Structures are given as structure tokens and as C-alpha cells.
Amino acid sequence: MTLVLPVSGKDYIHVPDTETHYTKSRIAFNKNWLQQHRLVQENGAEILILNDSLLLDQMCLDMNGKFYDGAGNAIPKDELQRIFNERNKIGINYRGENIDALFEFHGHKFSKIDYYPLYLSQSHAYSENEGLNPDYSEPLDTDTLMENRGIDLIHFIKEAHTSQGLPRKDVKKGDYFYFFPKGGAVAGLDADSVGFDLDCSRDPAGSDGSLGVRAKISTGNLNHFLEELRDKYKVPNKQSKQ
């Protein structure tokens, strides 16, 4: 077993009015999508789904809201801006982030041929015997944008998204590139020195030293969860919860 979750509360963002915390940073690098699920779930957490990813961006852009880390400290606005920029802005180095979102066709029970509509499967649970199984799988919203093109990132985040967390057909054009969902593909974010995008056609088998995930923990007592995590992985006491 490998520890991939941060063990300090200050390394998490608390989602207001919930018991959920998101990791501030990406974790589980140099692994493919399935391996990332296994590692994160062994640590007692889950990978962010599309609506989690969208909510994180909304929180980072909310200049009027006040957000706290897992230790109860207010998170400075410049730190939220840094997280947003790491995910969504052009920068010197490549940054990639897989999301728990698989697009797949469901075959008809009387046919061996795949057929429309395209389904979105999320909240996958990992087991050694069965691999990944989604908690739910539903047809892709018919209002989802199904063409590769540049979109307005802020319009998408704040308004022009479906209930599943993907760009709507009426999203404004812009310089944030969007690759529409393909069967057998997963979703993720990419940013480097050339551009930035939401890619829903990426290969789940791909891995890279700069391709990670963000995780979420749902617990009423984060400190207790982290204490148990430190005990499980025998983390020295100097890595405390403050």
C-alpha cells in the first residue's frame, strides 16, 4: 500500500455546508486512470467527478465567498487563484489532471453492436476481482456540446454547463479548448506552455509524471480520518494535523 493523500488538514479545501474536503494539490502521479482509482481508494478517498471539478473551479473564482481548509483556517484568495491557475491557465510546465468520468456505449441485450446514446459513468469503486464499477451510469445530457472547439472558460464554469458538469451547446466561444466525449475515453484537464483544455477523449491507459488527480474525502471528522491515515501508514508524528 502507498500513501498518496496529504496527512495535514491544511492541505484540504472544505466544501461549504457539506462534510466533503478536496485535496488542494494533485496526487497519484505516474499512474494510469485505473491505478489512480486503486491508490486513492486504498487511502479511503475518491477521485473528483465532473461536478466536483466544476465546483472546485467555482469556489476558486468566488471573490465574495470565504473558504476554509481542513484545519479551520481561512484560505487566502491568492491561494485559491493559484489552484485555479494550476488547473486552467497556460504555464511553463505541463499539468494534467484525470477526472472520474468514463464515457461508454451500452450494448443492446439482443445485439453485440454498441449503440447510442453515449453514457457517462462516474463514482467508480475499485475491487481486485472486478476492477472498476461505477456507482451510477446515465445517458449523456443531450444538451452537451459535441464538437471540438474553443470555449469561454468562465462562461462554462459559471453558467453554460449541463447538470453533469460538461459544457452546454450554447457555451460562448473562447480560447479554452474542449475535446468532446468519445466512447471508451475518460475526462481530464490539461495545461502547458501552449494551451489549456478539458479533454473528454483521453486514453484511460495513459500515464505521465505530471498527470495526477485530486481526491475528495467525505467525513464528519477530518482530523480523526487523518489520524487514522497517519497510523495506517506509520507517518511520523511531526507531520501533524494543524
The DSSP-derived string for 10-33 is GGEEEPTTSSEEEESS-B--S--H
Which residue, among 62, 56, 30, has the nearest Cα to 215 in the 3D structure?
56
Q: Parse the chain into domains and list their residue ranges.
A: 9-232
Q: How far apart are CA 214 and CA 44, in angstroms?
A: 13
Which pLDDT value is given to residue 211? 97
Query: pLDDT value at position 114?
Result: 52
Q: How far apart are CA 143 and CA 170, in angstroms?
A: 9
pLDDT score for 8? 97
| pLDDT one-digit tens code per residue, 98-146 | 999 999 987 554 445 555 689 999 999 999 888 899 999 999 999 999 9
pLDDT number for residue 236: 85
CB 187 within 8 A of CB 198: yes
Helix-strand-coil percent breakdown of the chain, rounded to 5? 20, 30, 45
How big is the chain by its Cα radius of gyration, in Å?
18
Round to whole Å and give the CA distance between 177 and 174.
8
What stretches in the chain show pLDDT beneath 70? 107-116, 237-242
Backbone angles phi, psi at 152, to 5 degrees: -85, 110
As a whole number of angstroms, the distance between CA 227 and CA 105 comes to 42
Instruction: Note the pLDDT of residue 226.
Output: 97
Task: Tell me the whole-structure pTM to 2 decimals.
Answer: 0.93
